[in-house]
A and B are shown apart, each in its own frame.
Chain A
Amino acid sequence: MNEAIIAAARFGYGAGPNGSNAGTNPRQWLKAQLARPARPPALDGLPSSAEQAVAIFELRKERQQAKQAGELADAKQEMSPERMEQRQRYLAEIAARLSAATDSETPLIERLSIFWANHFTVSGVRPIVRPLVGSFEREAIRPHVTGKFEEMVLAVVRHPAMGLYLDNAVSVGPNSRVGARRDRGLNENLGRELLELHTLGVDGGYTEEDVRALARILTGWSIGRLKDPDPGHFHFYEPIHEPGPKTLLGHTYPENGEGEGLAAIHDICRHPSTARHIATKLARHFIADQPPPGAVEKLAASFRESDGDLRHVTETLIDLPEAWSLYQQKVKTPWDLVVSAAVATGSALPVQQAAGWLNRLGQPVFMAPQPSGWPDDAASWVGPEAVLRRVEWCQSFADRFQDQVDPLMLANYAIGDSLSPDAHQAAERAESRSAALALLLASPAFQRR
């Protein structure tokens, strides 16, 4: 099997009509991308989280004032253009994300960005978070995909999107100045997911006490409001921070305000369970649903030894023999499928349609159903209805983009030897270009990576 094709499909979105850039040294090609993780130009000019968060606060304020003034009916009517604008912004974010993926010179960086954004899911299923999901990926995820894991965790936890999504922005220490006065209290959501999903993993050896301790440690980590000097940005509110020492995973953190959280995050990122959890997820994403234990162990060791240096860990992943020998073990998610079909045919995706396709294929952009993100195993994506939808989609896509490429050439540069002789023959014999392209895109060899 051609390693350039494997490199392009496993660690990117596959090869396009001009072939893959992987060349004669695919591993080198991949590692070189880690050395220059360029920011895709498609992401320029989109609003920042802070701007969006300020807009949310201002809107709330206006509505409150309108309500107090008894003008709610009018205020409601005025929501409509606001909603339309939000929809436009949401589509602009989807367009940028799609272009960043399809046009990338460093597709591995794109794949890593999607992987880590899914690991640290914030989802637009909570309407208040929706305007922030794109900027979350740009601000908290992308700058760190080849950096230190700890820095990514910090950026994530401090980001307003995560603060709103997992409620930490409104979590109040029960014994804090504000908490003692008012009937508001602790929200464990972020504390729990930070341990269960983002670092140690569900079997990582923590207790319910640890969840509550971390939640208490993180009280006060919130978002600057309109009256604050830094509206829309991360803001530590001493008045809601739970006072006193906290014991997390057997270690006692003395009272130190914001510093408690910094120290706790530093420590949980270095917990051996975190290395294993991240290693397992990376291997599951890039190699196989049931990753080989040896591969996981090597990744975990790399994570531990490098102090969570993600560039180093990714290089270890690239050098794993299993990453190359276990080709075609993974089924593409709908996102991977749509993007890789666009890349394979050299097509520019029409954004509104692409968003509709992904809805119908079961993976609406920025809308993961839960904090655990989109599933990363074939069984979740290959149900009876889902497979029909996929075949259907391949046909619709092929109808539209049939003129972009010669299907048999696509079979060579994008799929290669993993295409079964049956499928190749069916493509040769197909009654039209569109039929040939549809069956190639639907073929197991293209659906898998």
Chain B
Amino acid sequence: MMIDLACPDRRTALRLLGAAGLVAAFPRIAFADQPSDNRLVVIIQRGALDGLAAVPPYGDKHYQERRASLALPMPGEADGILKLDGMFGLHPALAPIRPLWDAGELLIVPATSGGYHTRSHFDAQDLLETGFTERHGEAAGWLNRALFELQPKGSTRRLGLALGASTPLMLRGTVPVASWEPPNMKPAAPALLAIMTKLYAADPLFGPALADGIKAQNLSDEVLGTDMGDMAGKGAGAGAFRAMAEAAGGLLASKDGPRIAVMDIGGWDTHVGQGTVKGRLGNNLAGFAAGLDRLHAALGDAWKKTVVVCVTEFGRTVAPNGTGGTDHGTASVTMLLGGAVRGGKVAGDWPGLEQLAENRDLRAATDQRAVLKAVLRDHLGLAGDRIDAAVFPGSGVRPMGGLVRA
């Protein structure tokens, strides 16, 4: 495991990482000009989350007809949608976070997009992370630009924390950030093994060897899709996410630790066999919810000061495709969780499922950056004019109001 932490509380780091993993020194520096003690966690759901599955608009009169075979059982039915309000509910696999709604700590912004128009994962993720709507070679992420504004001048404390093997573009830039990486060589993600099974099929050496290897590890059901039923929390993507979520919670909770963390969870690109209650997407949502649970627990009292924002590069088609999945779409959902969220409500408009973008996608009603700007301003105390000038220059998007507890 790799560790690069300039400042967090030594005991916390030791507990998390084991003494052997620690190489950095831990200078303690007192700040005259302390930054906000509030915490922000951004979770990037890479691969394009199907927002209509995660937060189904069951109350939309076109829901069942448009979603067809992908429609979830209605609230109250067996394995049914977990009702939030008269329009929206949660996928049943998200049951672990359902109590947050009642506690006023879960807020839904349906039908969000990044303001860009591309169906390429890579392009869209770059734009999501740089905060622009067109590529112009920007090598810094919007959150690093925000850190530049937040960091007290002359401070060497690392407010930013990147979880995972590399720093996400969102956190890259002039301000150095801390990083935490799960142990090396984790088991290959089931999604990758599924792809490799296909790509090795024609290879006389690699094909049979991989098939035998998968069989030997009892991975075949998960990977080959014959029975996707019991994968919850076992997939490597979700497993690594849990580890990262727990580490992030612990480090953010420490007294002089980082305050702003970014982590990834993949596995959302469900073109084939997406499933409804169970299946690829349901399993990944369960792993996601389990990770959020860990984060919540590890944050402890700091949860009260925390906003978790879950973003994805775009949504997916409304109707199922020919292989039981969904293809690249436009709008998805943005979820906010945490003790500092003014939750228990849905914010932003719902464009409805009657008219679709390009006759296939959920239309975007809210620019995701309106959510992000609101969090930077109202939660981290960054001045609105600095956000407009330095973090999301030229976006022309106004921050939403009332997303967080003042």
Give the interface of A toward B (CB within 8 A).
Answer: 331, 353, 356-357, 360, 378-379, 382-389, 391-393, 395-396, 399-403, 406, 420, 422-423, 426, 429-436, 438-439, 442-444, 447
Which of B165, B169, B209, B211 is close to A382, meaning CB atoms less than 8 Å apart?
B209
Residues of A within 8 A of B268 (CB): 431
A396 pairs with B185, CB closer than 8 A: yes
CA separation between A407 and B193, bound complex, in Å?
18
Which of B165, B187, B196, B210 is close to A399, meaning CB atoms less than 8 Å apart?
B165
A431 pairs with B121, CB closer than 8 A: yes
B48 pairs with A384, CB closer than 8 A: no
B199 pairs with A426, CB closer than 8 A: yes
Q: How far is the CB of B48 from chain A (nearest CB, A)?
A: 7
Given contacts A387-B213, A391-B210, could you give 4 more A-B pairs where the C-beta distance is less than 8 Å?
Answer: A384-B215, A387-B209, A431-B47, A444-B200
Given contacts A356-B184, A396-B185, A401-B166, contact A391 B267 (CB under 8 A): no
Given contacts A353-B184, A401-B166, A431-B268, contact A387 B199 (CB under 8 A): no
CA separation between A331 and B206, bound complex, in Å?
10
Residues of B within 8 A of A384 (CB): 209-213, 215-216
A444 pairs with B206, CB closer than 8 A: yes
Q: How far is the CB of B378 from chain A (nearest CB, A)?
A: 30
Given contacts A391-B192, A391-B196, A420-B199, contact A431 B266 (CB under 8 A): yes
CA separation between A443 and B196, bound complex, in Å?
7
Which of A331, A400, A426 is close to B205, meaning CB atoms less than 8 Å apart?
A331
Residues of B within 8 A of A360 (CB): 185
16 residue pairs bridging A and B, Cβ less than 8 Å apart: A382-B205, A383-B213, A385-B213, A386-B213, A391-B196, A391-B210, A392-B185, A392-B187, A403-B166, A422-B199, A431-B191, A431-B267, A432-B122, A432-B266, A433-B125, A435-B192
Which of A399, A403, A423 is close to B169, meaning CB atoms less than 8 Å apart?
A403
Residues of A within 8 A of B210 (CB): 384, 387-388, 391
CA separation between A385 and B191, bound complex, in Å?
18
Taking the complex as formed, is B136 at the interface, i.e. its CB lies under 8 A from any CB of chain A? no
A388 pairs with B213, CB closer than 8 A: yes
Contact mask for chain B residues 158-187; partner A; CB cutoff 8 A; 1 contact, 0 none: 000000111001000000000000001111
Q: How far is the CB of A20 from chain B (nearest CB, A)?
A: 24
CA separation between A433 and B169, bound complex, in Å?
12
CA separation between A429 and B187, bound complex, in Å?
22
B184 pairs with A439, CB closer than 8 A: no
Residues of A within 8 A of B169 (CB): 403
Q: How far is the CB of B307 from chain A (nearest CB, A)?
A: 24
Given contacts A360-B185, A403-B166, A423-B199, contact A391 B271 (CB under 8 A): no
Q: How far is the CB of B22 from chain A (nearest CB, A)?
A: 15
Name the CB-closest residue of A to B197. A391
Which of B164, B166, B192 is close to A395, meaning CB atoms less than 8 Å apart?
B192
How many residues does chain B have at the interface if contact means C-beta atoms less than 8 Å apart? 43
Residues of A within 8 A of B105 (CB): none
Taking the complex as formed, is B46 at the interface, i.e. its CB lies under 8 A from any CB of chain A? yes
CA separation between A389 and B187, bound complex, in Å?
8
CA separation between A420 and B164, bound complex, in Å?
30
Q: How far is the CB of A129 from chain B (nearest CB, A)?
A: 28
B192 pairs with A433, CB closer than 8 A: no
Taking the complex as formed, is B202 at the interface, i.e. its CB lies under 8 A from any CB of chain A? yes
Within 8 A of A (CB), among B96-151: 121-122, 125
Name the CB-closest residue of B to A388. B213
Within 8 A of A (CB), among B6-48: 46-48
Q: How far is the CB of B24 from chain A (nearest CB, A)?
A: 16
Taking the complex as formed, is B77 at the interface, i.e. its CB lies under 8 A from any CB of chain A? no
Within 8 A of A (CB), among B267-297: 267-269, 271
Taking the complex as formed, is B74 at the interface, i.e. its CB lies under 8 A from any CB of chain A? no
Name the CB-closest residue of A to B240. A399
Q: How far is the CB of A31 from chain B (nearest CB, A)?
A: 32
B199 pairs with A402, CB closer than 8 A: no
Residues of A within 8 A of B196 (CB): 391, 439, 442
A400 pairs with B186, CB closer than 8 A: no
CA separation between A296 and B284, bound complex, in Å?
54
Given contacts A392-B188, A432-B121, contact A444 B203 (CB under 8 A): yes
Q: How far is the CB of B202 from chain A (nearest CB, A)?
A: 7
Which of B165, B199, B212, B216 is close to A443, meaning CB atoms less than 8 Å apart?
B199
Q: How far is the CB of B389 from chain A (nearest CB, A)?
A: 27
A388 pairs with B188, CB closer than 8 A: yes
CA separation between A344 and B216, bound complex, in Å?
32
Residues of A within 8 A of B166 (CB): 399-403
CA separation between A399 and B183, bound complex, in Å?
12
A433 pairs with B199, CB closer than 8 A: no
CA separation between A360 and B140, bound complex, in Å?
35
Q: How far is the CB of B187 from chain A (nearest CB, A)?
A: 6
Name the CB-closest residue of B to A402. B166
Taking the complex as formed, is B346 at the interface, i.e. its CB lies under 8 A from any CB of chain A? no
B48 pairs with A392, CB closer than 8 A: no
Residues of A within 8 A of B205 (CB): 331, 378-379, 382
Residues of A within 8 A of B255 (CB): none
Taking the complex as formed, is B359 at the interface, i.e. its CB lies under 8 A from any CB of chain A? no
Name the CB-closest residue of A to B211. A384
Residues of A within 8 A of B195 (CB): 426, 430, 439
Which of A356, A391, A396, A433 is close to B165, meaning CB atoms less than 8 Å apart?
A396
B186 pairs with A396, CB closer than 8 A: yes
Taking the complex as formed, is B218 at the interface, i.e. its CB lies under 8 A from any CB of chain A? no
